[in-house]
Structure 1
Amino acid sequence: MAEYADPGRPHWSVRPIESDEFTDFARVCGTALLATRDPADEGFRRPVTELGRTLAAFDGDLMVGTTVVHPFTMTLPGGPRPVAGVSAVGVWPTHRRRGVLTALMRRQLADVHAAGESVAALFASEGAIYGRFGYGPASRAISATLPAREAALRPDVPRDPSLSLRLGTLPEMRKEMERVHGLAAARRVGEFQRSGAWWDLLLRDEPGGREGYGAKMCVVAEGPSGPLGYAVHRARPGWDDFEMPTGRMQVTQFFAVTPAAEALLWEHLLGRDLIRDLEVPMLPEDTPLFHLLTDRNHMRATVGEPLWIRLVDLPRAMEERSYAAPVDTVLEVADRDCPWNAGRWRLHADGAGAASFTRVEGGAGTEPDLVVDVARLGAAYLGSTRLASYVAAGMAEERTPGAAARLDVALTIDHEPCCSVIF
Structure 2
Amino acid sequence: MTGAPQHDPSRRDDAPVWTVREGTEKDHPEAVRVFCEALNLSVREALDDERDHPITEHDRTLLALDGDRVIGTALSHGFEMTAPGGPRRVAGVTGVGVWPTHRRRGVLSALMRRQLADVRGRGENLAVLWASEGGIYARFGYGMAFRETNATLQRAHARLRPDAPRDPSLTLELAEPAEVRQELERVYREALPQRAGQIARGAHWWSLVLKDKEADGSGRLRAALVRGPDGPRGYALYRVVNRWEDGLPSGRVVVRELASVSTAARVALYEHLLDRDLTSEAVFEKLPEDDPLTVLLADPRRLVRRDFEALWVRLVDLPGALSDRPYAAPVDTVLEVADRYAPWNAGRWRLEADTGGARVSPTDAAPDLGLDASHLGAAYLGGRTLTAFTEAGLLTEHTPGAAARLDTALHAPRAPFCGTDF
Is TM > 0.5 for Structure 1 vs Structure 2? yes
Contact 2:325 2:357 in 1 (8 A): no
Aligned pairs (5 A) from 1:119-138? 119-138=126-145
Give the aligned residue type for 1:28.
V
Aligned pairs (5 A) from 1:17-416? 17-36=23-42, 38=44, 39-43=46-50, 47-207=54-214, 210-241=215-246, 243-351=247-355, 353-361=356-364, 366-416=365-415
Shift of 1:45: 8.1
Q: 1:222 to 1:199 in 2, by over 3 A?
A: same
Helix, strand or coil at the partner of 1:157: coil
Helix, strand or coil at the partner of 1:417: coil
Q: 1:45 to 1:105 in 2, by over 3 A?
A: farther
Helix, strand or coil at the partner of 2:249: coil
Shift of 1:186: 2.0
Give the aligned residue type for 1:372.
L
TM-score by length of 2: 0.96
- Cα separation, 2, equivalents of 1:64 and 1:237: 43
- Cα separation, 2, equivalents of 1:122 and 1:170: 27
Shift of 1:69: 0.7
Shift of 1:137: 0.5
What do the CA deviations read for 1:182-206 (whole angstroms, capped 9, x no partner)? 0111221000110111111111113
> Is 1:15 paired with 2:51?
no
* RMSD after superposition: 1.4
- Cα separation, 1, equivalents of 2:104 and 2:150: 32
Contact 1:11 1:59 in 2 (8 A): no
Identity %: 50
Q: 1:133 to 1:45 in 2, by over 3 A?
A: farther
Helix, strand or coil at the partner of 2:244: coil
Give the aligned residue type for 2:331.
V
What do the CA deviations read for 1:207-241 (whole angstroms, capped 9, x no partner)? 4xx34311101001110100010000011111112
Helix, strand or coil at the partner of 1:149: helix
Give the aligned residue type for 2:324.
E
- Cα separation, 2, equivalents of 1:284 and 1:111: 32
- Cα separation, 2, equivalents of 1:282 and 1:33: 22
Helix, strand or coil at the partner of 1:271: coil
Give the aligned residue type for 2:271.
E
Q: 1:28 to 1:368 in 2, by over 3 A?
A: same
Contact 1:4 1:107 in 2 (8 A): no
Helix, strand or coil at the partner of 1:52: helix
Shift of 1:372: 0.7
Contact 1:44 1:201 in 2 (8 A): no
Shift of 1:10: 5.4
Q: Which moved more, 1:142-151 or 1:409-418?
A: 142-151
Give the aligned residue type for 2:28.
F
Q: Tell me the matched-pair count.
A: 415
- Cα separation, 1, equivalents of 2:201 and 2:369: 37
TM-score by length of 1: 0.95
- Cα separation, 1, equivalents of 2:278 and 2:255: 16
Q: 1:311 to 1:45 in 2, by over 3 A?
A: farther
Q: Which moved more, 1:226-235 or 1:62-71?
A: 62-71
Structure 1 stretches of 5 or more lacking a match? none
Contact 2:24 2:61 in 1 (8 A): no
- Cα separation, 2, equivalents of 1:401 and 1:158: 44
Q: Which moved more, 1:231-240 or 1:10-19?
A: 10-19
Contact 2:53 2:208 in 1 (8 A): no
Give the aligned residue type for 1:269.
L
Give the aligned residue type for 1:166.
E
Helix, strand or coil at the partner of 2:172: strand
Structure 2 stretches of 5 or more lacking a match? 9-14
- Cα separation, 2, equivalents of 1:324 and 1:296: 31
Helix, strand or coil at the partner of 2:137: helix
- Cα separation, 2, equivalents of 1:48 and 1:370: 41
What do the CA deviations read for 1:77-125 (whole angstroms, capped 9, x no partner)? 1110101100111111111111111111010000001110000000111
